[in-house]
Amino acid sequence: MEALTVKEARQRAADLAVRSYLVDFDLTDPGDTFEVTSRISFTAAGTASWVDVKPERLLSVELNGQPLDTELLTDGRFPLAGLQAENDLVIHTVQKYSVDGEGLVRSVDAADGRVYTYGMSSLESAPRYYPCFDQPDLKAPYTVTVKCPEDWVVLGNGAATQTGPGEWALAETKPLSTYFVAIVAGPFHLIRSEYDGIPLGLACRQSLKEPLEADAEDLFKTTRDAFDAYHRMFAQRYMFGEYWQVFVPDFNLGAMENPGCVTVSDDFLFRAQATEAERSTRSRVLVHEMAHMWFGDLVTMKWWNDMWLNESFAEYMAHRVAEDATAYKDNWTDFAFVRKWWGMQTDQSSSTHPVAPDSLKDARQSLDDFDGISYAKGAAVLKQLAKYLGDDVFLKGVNSHLEAHEYGNADLHEFIAKLTEAGANGLENWSEQWLRTSGLDTLSAERTATGVVLHRESPDDSRRPHTLTVGGYDEAGTPTIVELVLDQDSVEVALGNEIAVIVPDAQDDTWVKVRLDSTTLANLPAVLPKIADGTTRAVIWNAVRDATMTGELDPRQALELFATTIGAEDSDVAVESLVRWLDKVIGGYLPYDESRAVVADALEAKLASVEPGSSLQLATARGFVETTHDSELLKSWLTANPGRGLDIGQDLRWAIVLQLVRLGAFGAAEIDAELARDQSSEGVTHAARCRAALADGKEAAWQRIMADPEIGVRELLATAEGFWHPAQAAITAPYVGRFFTDIAGTGDFRAGMVLMLTANRIVPKYAIDAGLIGMAEALAKDTTVTSGIRRAVANYADDLRRAVEVRRRYS
């Protein structure tokens, strides 16, 4: 189906104003379809337009009391002719439940057979479960009714009232965009609370009620703390009535900001011990979605090129508010290690783009840009903007923006105008430099005869200003911090040239690449473990990772730095992030067996000294399991407690089984035995990942990935994750070429987020061969291939090109 273009959206927004929706869902059919009736009241300036309808069957269409020919539906659009000034449109359809995480999703819990449904309408999926005018700037209030099995409960954007057995009505909402309209229906377990007059709720599958009950107070506390912070920060209180956070299965994102009814992946309900980093991430996800109630829901972008007004703001606010107001700390350290590293790689890829591009031609293209730039870079730029303006001016402008456009839509120029009214100067130039350009400036410190000079190199002529700190650290790790504004290419820094380590942007205040001088690199093995600030350590590691990726630093030197310093690292997010990164180093840059053993030995040594039962111990154990080839030791962990307080919970058990399968020590029988022990939907997902790792299971896994339109999201992604591994290079070699011939076909039966997520996971990332670069580049440029696949392959080609060059340079 053709995607909505910006030109079409602007014309339709000029022609129509939607007054209201009344949407009736009938979910009583136990099969794979449901019925829906949309009644849309709208005004029209012209006589013709269209409505978005993507049904299994279109039963009837009635405009202003007159039936229309259902055969007029073409490519998801139903044409409307003879429009009047005031119009009433009624559309009755049969819709198909979704298995790909978009539309109205139907999921059967493997633990007990119960059925759960929830709506996911972002970005262009709303018409997959109800007919509508699907674009962000045609907002309207919604009234929803639902018929369903009598043992189900229903939640949604408006407060739910049961009106009879299996019958529910949702209160009329404030004006909403189509992409965050949601219903949730099924035999959910509910927990209720309250905050300052706002009804709060948590919900999950019945099979996960124990972990939800165990963490309910923590979840409610984060929710209340975040509301407190936002109510202090913003002039407007929360405006959408009840506030439910519903943990749902087979979700293809972390969470979705549906007003009043936030949906969250139930991967965030922990069945066993979780690391502090995982709990902190969950907290930030909740705070992020709450930020959207103001940025995205109350005020929505006019078109998807200003998606950053949603996601960058929510990303920035999530880290800021989580750090300042919740029980979870070190959020900016996590941002630097995880989110910023993601964004830095994206901003140096061939698919880079501005934070706020001038235009996106259609809604589908905007989905491709849900990436490390729209989230992490945008958040870092906003952090820099707040520092540049000062908080008073920044928040005054933000509040003015929210008040001026409440329940409506706005764009970048309108936001900048409100900041200017608040007292900001020169922001048009600043926004052009930061929001309309791509790439990162590079900062480096030069030791001169008389001191230290900080240099800025730009990939273009943007000459972005930076408000930042430079840190100097002596042999004991004692810091000297210098604050400065870098608005020219070089500036002197008040540090002595004899200082052991110099770190530009030591507090991670801006968006740059950092290059460390040779003296600093030489001193890092001794000094890095003594630097107390985790964020500064993240800045250093990002500099090391980036220089390794671009071939400026020998990957063996980076690996040696990890082995030398990881024993002293006290941050579980650092351990987890670095182990994930080292997968690329040992799988792509260096000989696998040799480099893997270095990582495994370092983590095994850390396990012997880390605090028993701690979050850090669990993070270290996971890394060790992923890298060790000691199959007998791993088997022993499955049969007996390894001691020192290490909890081998069910998810860690599955990680051990996966590694043993990859090593050829376990087969299908052991996977089946573990699944018999863990007969849950989560167990099914883990088993799918393990089966994809079987030497004799590759073809079956390949067919599921490349040819099965009915596989659920979580099982599909797990299968893709389990397929490639450097220890199985010979086994998977025949599939490398098949990737380039088979992946395009998945665009015929998959779309949206799941297509992009799958493509990113199934690229042959460990096949480092210069001969593949041309094949990848050709596929990435083939416009007959779905854009989400082409974007994933283009990014793979970038990684492949770098890996080939690193191997050539340091072989």
Active-site positions read 289
Backbone angles phi, psi at 140, to 5 degrees: -165, 155
Cβ–Cβ < 8 Å for 238, 231: yes
Task: Give the DSSP per-residue string, 666-700.
Answer: --HHHHHHHHHH--SHHHHHHHHHHHHHSGGGHHH
The C-alpha atoms of residue 602 and residue 134 are separated, in whole angstroms, by 53
Angle at 759 between CA 111 and CA 5, to 5 degrees: 105
The C-alpha atoms of residue 258 and residue 363 are separated, in whole angstroms, by 19
**CA neighbor of 253 nearest in space, from 638, 714, 735:** 714
Task: Give the DSSP per-residue string, 311-341.
Answer: HHHHHHHHHHHHHHHSS---HHHHIIIIIIH
The C-alpha atoms of residue 810 and residue 595 are separated, in whole angstroms, by 14
The C-alpha atoms of residue 613 and residue 648 are separated, in whole angstroms, by 11
Cα-trace Rg, the chain:
27
Helix residue ranges, H only, 369-453: 378-389, 391-404, 412-421, 427-435
Q: Tokens for 742?
A: 């088979």
The C-alpha atoms of residue 655 and residue 638 are separated, in whole angstroms, by 11
Q: Tokens for 648?
A: 């081998």
**CA neighbor of 621 nearest in space, from 592, 582, 579:** 579
Cβ–Cβ < 8 Å for 581, 623: no
The C-alpha atoms of residue 412 and residue 683 are separated, in whole angstroms, by 45
Residue 430: which residues within 8 A CB-CB, separation 6 or more? 385, 388, 465
The C-alpha atoms of residue 99 and residue 93 are separated, in whole angstroms, by 19
Q: Tokens for 300?
A: 């929505």
Token pair 């964004």 is found at: 343
* 47 CB-contact burial (10 Å; exposed 0-12 / middle 13-18 / buried 19+): exposed
335-346 in b/e form (b: 16+ CB < 10 A) is: bbbbbbbbbbbb
Q: Tokens for 224?
A: 């209340």
Angle at 624 between CA 619 and CA 628, to 5 degrees: 165
Cβ–Cβ < 8 Å for 501, 473: yes
Cβ–Cβ < 8 Å for 289, 257: yes
Bridge partners (DSSP) listed for residue 301: 410
Cβ–Cβ < 8 Å for 183, 248: no
Backbone angles phi, psi at 541, to 5 degrees: -65, -35
Cβ–Cβ < 8 Å for 323, 332: yes
Q: Tokens for 67?
A: 């039936």
**CA neighbor of 677 nearest in space, from 695, 698, 646, 656:** 656
The C-alpha atoms of residue 177 and residue 306 are separated, in whole angstroms, by 15
Residue 63: which residues within 8 A CB-CB, separation 6 or more? 80, 82, 83, 87, 88, 89, 90
Angle at 276 between CA 275 and CA 281, to 5 degrees: 100
Helix (H, G, I), strand (E, B) or coil at 96: strand
DSSP category for residue 4? P
Token pair 């109800």 is found at: 130
DSSP category for residue 241? S
